[in-house]
């Protein structure tokens, strides 16, 4: 996918494991992995961090291969829900830190441009999630009100 505010088409990031069956070195059963996912989610860790923690600490290459369900499905079954989707909350956090920087540095034009670009991505994502039905139709992005939701 092309980047929104650059002319580049980079595809950085890790790749998913090639095999779709449970590897022999994974010692945890599906139920143990599910309970670990729920325990990490109740601590307030995001879905992507849960997957990374399970990969690095427990040797689980892919939760879906071991349990038959994705992390999102496991959290839905256990009624654990985040107030905002993860990508939207990450962008909102970034926008809030840029705003905080701009309070101390009013003349930083690069930061103003960065805030403008970040908030345009936020508005774009909000429009997408409203259309998809994951956010209420009357949801509005207000930096002062959303700070209480995101910064916990």
Residue 130 within a domain? yes
Tell me, rounded to whole angstroms, the distance of Cα 101 from its chain centroid: 23
At residue 2 the predicted structure's pLDDT band, cuts being 50, 70 and 90, is low
Rounded CA gap, 144 and 57, in Å? 37
Last residue of one domain, picked from the residues 77, 103, 134:
77
User: Is 66 found in the same domain as 117?
Assistant: no
Q: Which structural domain range is residue 122 located in?
A: 86-150
Higher pLDDT, 101 or 151: 101
User: Is 62 found in the same domain as 90?
Assistant: no
Q: Look at the chain and report how many structural domains it folds into.
A: 2
Residue 109 within a domain? yes
Burial track 115-151 (b if 16+ CB lie within 10 A, e otherwise): beebbebbeebbeebeeeeebeeeeeeeeeebeeebe
Residue 4 within a domain? no
pLDDT score of 1 = 45
User: Is 72 found in the same domain as 94?
Assistant: no
Q: What is the average pLDDT across 89-108? A: 94
């Amino acid at each position: 996918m092309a980047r929104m505010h650059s002319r580049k088409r980079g595809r950085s990031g890790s790749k998913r494991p090639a095999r779709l069956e449970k590897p022999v070195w994974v010692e945890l059963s599906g139920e143990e992995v599910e309970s670990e996912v729920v325990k990490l989610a109740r601590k307030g860790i995001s879905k992507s961090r849960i997957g990374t923690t399970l990969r690095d600490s427990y040797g689980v290459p892919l939760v879906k291969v071991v349990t038959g369900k994705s992390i999102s499905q496991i959290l839905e079954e256990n009624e654990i829900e985040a107030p905002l989707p993860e990508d939207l909350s990450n962008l909102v956090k970034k926008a809030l830190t840029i705003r905080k920087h701009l309070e101390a540095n009013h003349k930083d034009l690069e930061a103003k441009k960065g805030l403008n670009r970040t908030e345009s991505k936020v508005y774009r994502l909000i429009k997408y999630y409203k259309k998809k039905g994951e956010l209420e139709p009357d949801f509005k992005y207000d930096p002062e009100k959303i700070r209480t939701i995101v910064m916990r």
